[in-house]
Each structure stands twice: as C-alpha cells, then as structure tokens.
Amino acid sequence: MFDILHSLLILFFICCTLIGVTDQHENSKNLGQELILCRKCGADVADSHYLFSKQSPGALTIDKQNLFGHQNATVQTLVNPFGVKFDIVTLEKAKCENVGPPQGADSWFPGYTWRICACPHCGQHLGWTFESTDLSLTKAKEHVHSFHGFILSNVLGENFTDSLIMMPKMYKM
C-alpha cells in the first residue's frame, strides 16, 4: 500500500511540475507577438513586446506599418550626415553589444547620445542605442532613459523565417 501511495505522490508531483513548466513557457511565449532576429545569424535580439514609438524631430518620414505582429508600428526614415537613409523602429529593450563611447554629435534624438548596437552573437550592426543626457527630464512621464533604434533591413521577424525555403547550394543558380 505504501509503495502505491508513494508512486501516486511521485506521479502527482511530476504532473504538477510539468503543468507549471508549460504555463511558464506559454507566459514567456505570449510576452510579445514575435521575436525579432538578427538578419545575418538568426539570433533573437529583441521581443516585439518592447516596440514603442519614439519619434525623431529629424525624421524624413514617419509611417505606420504592420510589423512583427504589431499593427501600426512606427517606422521612421532617418538620414545620417553622409546622406545614408535608414528605416528604423524603436524598442525599449533589446540584446545589444554597444560599441564605442557615447556620441553626442549628430544624434537624431535631441537630449540623447548614441552608440552602435551590434548583435551580441555575430557582431552585425543592428542599429543604435540611445541614452538620455538630460537629467532634468528623467521624472517626466513620457521620458525614456534609454532605447534602441533597429535598422529594419538588418533584422527580421521569426514568423517571416518560417516562410523561407532553404535550398541546397548545389541547386542554386
């Protein structure tokens, strides 16, 4: 009798543990609509849950697009001093390897310094990390201390990768 009771308790414990793990997995999966991946290596670098609209006063265009499972995500076209255009989205959190010291010159976002944001896995340039320099604004409700601007052509959504077809090299033309 003791062995049967002991076995049932172990089985009950295993079932409860598995249910808890499944619930945790579902909760983490539902954080955002989809993961944002480095286009070069496929590493996940952000969760679309952290997309937000931080508009630059220097943007050439500001559009709303359906991206990464979000309706009306803000996409801005920005131009650097060399005339190179970038379509970017802004995120509150991302996995970035920040490169170099903070730069104040030519920032698209007044009151913020910038650094290059690279993929922590392969080093691909993903965009920039912007950090606030105006300490007087830190208590303002809409003020964000730091955020990331990802170049759309350097990232892709995980749901898009599901639609890609891999072709062996011998079949490529």
155, part of any domain: yes
* Mean pLDDT, each 10-residue run in order, the chain (173 residues): 50 47 42 86 95 95 93 95 97 96 95 97 97 71 84 92 61 56
Q: Are residues 39 and 24 in the same domain?
A: no
- Distances 166 to 11, 16, 62, 152 between C-alpha atoms, Å: 43, 40, 34, 22
Task: Tell me how far apart the alpha carbons of residues 11 and 3 are, in angstroms, rounded to a whole number.
Answer: 12
109, part of any domain: yes
134, part of any domain: yes
65, part of any domain: yes
What pLDDT, on a 0 to 100 scale, did the predictor assign at position 92?
Answer: 96
What pLDDT, on a 0 to 100 scale, did the predictor assign at position 8?
Answer: 47
Q: Are residues 85 and 156 in the same domain?
A: yes
Contact 51, 89 (CB under 8 A): yes
Q: Are residues 57 and 122 in the same domain?
A: yes
Contact 125, 116 (CB under 8 A): yes
166, part of any domain: no
Task: Tell me how far apart the alpha carbons of residues 78 and 108 are, in angstroms, rounded to a whole number.
Answer: 8
Q: Which domain holds residue 75?
A: 35-161
Q: Are residues 20 and 52 in the same domain?
A: no
- This prediction's pTM: 0.74
**Total tally of structural domains belonging to the chain:** 2
3, part of any domain: yes
